[in-house]
Amino acid sequence: MTNPDNLIPLLQELISARGPSGQEDEVRAICIRELETLCDKTWTDASGNVIGFLRGVSSEGPAIRVMAHMDELAMIVKRINEDGTLRVNPLGGIYPANYGQGPVEIMADQGILPGVLSIGPQHTTADSARIWEVKVKGGNKAMDWSHPYIFTRKTLAQLKEAGVHAGTRVVIARSRRTLFDIDDCIGSYFMDNRAAIVTLLGAAARMKAEDKQPAGDTYLVMTTTEEIGAHGATYASRTLPGDITLAVDSGPAVEEYGVALTAEPIVVYGDAAGLYDKTISDHLLACGRLLGMDPQCAYWQSYGSDASLSKAIGQTARAALLCIATENTHGYEIIPRDGIGQCVALLAAYLEHPV
């Protein structure tokens, strides 16, 4: 059961679970298990979103959908080459260099197969055109997904028998899914958005431990396919009650936005998909200050969330976004260890006193 005072073991379990867009089953199973212990009712909707319902103190309070996405950046097989290597495309905004060469897992129909994201031997010349293109003092081209391949050590017949085909997902191997300590920070792939899932669960666990209830009916929604267009979130925004969708996600800690890698939560006022509700954002800021925090404010020029994308297509009237400051977003992500705890406290405070 979610321990609001130590969320790190749950974060590690969620990071170990595979969750490429549209195939979030392993993450979903953990979310269902935890939400069932915390919520008045838990169910999975037709889009694969997991929803935990927390009854509000009063039916007068605003119904709120709080969202964190279950899916992770991954790859999808485009074709199988004659030599048994796989040509993959990204599922979400990820570049090969953000993963680097290394172990991956191919989620074949018959089970998991090992593979390696590869770029080829470097002791080569222009005769090896694909490798040469991205060599410094060679082709000098930036690497894109036409360059790497998945090494499988399997024949076409073996891959077919294992159930590898166009559409098969390829994910970072479990051996590369271990939390790494760096002073006051922790690093791993997929803090986006497992850190936010832990935040939602932590806020619910904290309210339960303190025998508190949200002011209005609250739907904790663990969403599908955010990384490729927020399809789960837009469906849930349309089908669940309420006018507010509040997303929790990773926020880029970078000078461009004046955002630092600190534990202070980030209140976001707008992104590339639209504006967040200013009344809610201002209120989140005030809630944080009341708790003794100094929340950061941000406007993300290159970003979209479950909430802003829901609003952009008219499925929610009001949107809000809380972020955890993150280094290397959409890569090997690093967050301040206390970032989750602060976000938990702010989210719980908001749900008890929403606007």
φ, ψ (nearest 5 deg) of residue 68: -140, 135
**Residue recorded with tokens 């800021």:** 285
Q: Is 333 in the site for Zn ion (CB under 5 A)?
A: no
Residue 97 per-residue DSSP state: H
* Residue span 249-268 as binding mask against Zn ion, x where in contact by CB under 5 A, dash where not: x-------------------
CB closer to Zn ion out of 154 and 330: 330
Residue 202 CB, shortest distance to Zn ion, in Å, is 17
Residue 80 CB, shortest distance to Zn ion, in Å, is 30
Residue 127 CB, shortest distance to Zn ion, in Å, is 41
DSSP 3-state of 40:
coil
CB closer to Zn ion out of 193 and 316: 193
User: DSSP for 250-287?
Assistant: EEE--GGGT--SSSS-EEEEEETTEEPPHHHHHHHHHH
Q: How many residues bind Zn ion (CB under 5 A)?
A: 3
* Overall size of the chain counted in residues: 355
Residue 200 CB, shortest distance to Zn ion, in Å, is 13
Q: How far apart are CA 302 and CA 351, in angstroms?
A: 28
Residue 320 CB, shortest distance to Zn ion, in Å, is 15
Q: How far apart are CA 296 and CA 93, in angstroms?
A: 25
Return left, alpha or beta for 292; rule: phi > 0 is left, psi -120 to 50 is alpha, else beta.
Answer: left
Element holding 98 (H helix, E strand)? helix 96-99
Whether the CB-CB separation of 31 and 50 falls below 8 Å is answered with yes
CB closer to Zn ion out of 159 and 267: 267
CB closer to Zn ion out of 249 and 327: 249
Q: How far apart are CA 143 and CA 35, in angstroms?
A: 41
Q: Could you say which residues in the range 190-209 bind Zn ion, by CB under 5 A?
A: 192-193
CB closer to Zn ion out of 213 and 308: 308
Q: Could you say which residues in the range 164-193 bind Zn ion, by CB under 5 A?
A: 192-193
CB closer to Zn ion out of 77 and 195: 195
Q: How far apart are CA 204 and CA 89, in angstroms?
A: 37
Residue in 252, 176, 231 with CA at minimum distance from that of residue 16? 176
CB closer to Zn ion out of 34 and 249: 249
State the angle between helix axes of 191-209 and 339-352 in degrees (0 to 180), rounded to the nearest 10: 50
CB closer to Zn ion out of 203 and 248: 248
Residue 277 CB, shortest distance to Zn ion, in Å, is 20
Q: How far apart are CA 330 and CA 98, in angstroms?
A: 7
Residue 69 CB, shortest distance to Zn ion, in Å, is 6
Q: Could you say which residues in the range 220-249 bind Zn ion, by CB under 5 A?
A: 249
Residue 258 CB, shortest distance to Zn ion, in Å, is 20
CB closer to Zn ion out of 86 and 196: 196
Residue 194 CB, shortest distance to Zn ion, in Å, is 10
**Residue recorded with tokens 């055109």:** 129
Q: How far apart are CA 301 and CA 38, in angstroms?
A: 36
What is the binding site for Zn ion (CB under 5 A)?
A: 192-193, 249
